[in-house]
Amino acid sequence: MGNNSVHETDGGRRPQQQIPVVVLAGFLGSGKTTLLNHLLHRSAGSRIGAIVNDFGAIEIDALAVAGALGDSTVSLGNGCLCCAVDAGELDVYLGKLAAPETGVDVIVIEASGLAEPQELVRMVLASEHPGIVYGGLVEVVDAAEFDDTRARHPEIDRHLALADLVVVNKLDRTADPERVLALVGSLTDRAAVVPATYGRVDPEFLFDCRPSEERIGQLSFDDLHDHDHDHDHDH
């Protein structure tokens, strides 16, 4: 998958292209980690850099790991990279993954454990690193438990309103998939709504969900401000 040459010319390096940084969010049980594993292990020719809170939920085995790069980073055999960091190190690792020599095409930040999605979106938008650009918020929801999730976590409505892509997962486990898709669609603001089972989505969706400049301009401070500082962080 060596595509590092896209960053170089015969006369030296070209100006670095900006790499989209996608925030991946979803409550416990939604299938967010399953989706991330699917993307990392079936990246379909794209090099994905993932930033997670820890490696515990990522399917990494001895055969898949090409080598440890140090600094809590591993290189998977298919060319994807995975970093385990805390929120304070986020900007540092964004810079490392965006380095031209990595050949990364898209960076995915898993929101669970790091921070609320609004905070991560703010951090990406506020980053002054020239090699990255905000690539959108992907929210994963559990179709079978969606009504219960909204009852337990009413803030999910705000997450969906901010999302640029919504993956409605486990659609095969709900008795009325059309109702759930319609309800989710009514809670989004121009986001694409994609049905899925077992978190299987085309990695190209990560490139297609990038918000427009107009959309980014509409993300006011109030939209991105987390009003629920007292909510439960057990997920």
**Residue 184 CA to its chain's centroid (Å):** 19
What confidence tens digit (pLDDT) does each residue in 54-106 have? 666 566 554 344 444 456 777 776 677 788 887 678 888 898 899 998 899 99
Determine the Cα–Cα distance for residues 229 and 188; give it in Å rounded to an integer: 23
Q: Can you name the residues that pair with 107 across neighbouring β-strands? A: 21, 49
Please give the domain boundaries of the chain with CATH numbers for all domains: 16-224 (3.40.50.300)
Question: Two tokens at 192?
Answer: 């694409």
Q: What is the pLDDT of residues 179-215, one digit of tens each?
A: 999 999 999 988 999 999 988 888 887 777 777 666 6
pTM of the model: 0.79
Neighbours of 52 (CB within 10 A): 24
- Strand duo 48-52 + 81-84: pairing: parallel
Dump pLDDT digits (tens) for 132-186: 999 999 999 999 999 999 999 999 999 999 999 999 999 999 999 999 999 999 9
42, 35 Cβ separation under 8 angstroms? no
The pLDDT of 18-23, averaged and rounded, is 93
Confirm if 194 and 201 have CB atoms less than 8 A apart: yes
Which residue, chain included where needed, has tokens 């989706």? 35
How far is Cα 195 from Cα 188, in angstroms, rounded to an integer?
A: 14
202: amino acid identity, one letter? D
Helix ranges, 4-116 (H): 32-41, 90-97
Q: Rounded CA gap, 106 and 21, in Å?
A: 6
In this predicted structure, the answer to whether residue 233 has a pLDDT above a threshold of 80 is no
Q: What is the CA radius of gyration of the chain?
A: 17
Q: Which residue has the higher pLDDT, 165 or 224?
A: 165
Which stretches of the chain are DSSP H helices?
A: 32-41, 90-97, 117-126, 146-152, 156-162, 177-187, 204-208, 213-217, 221-224
Question: What pLDDT was estimated at residue 13?
Answer: 37
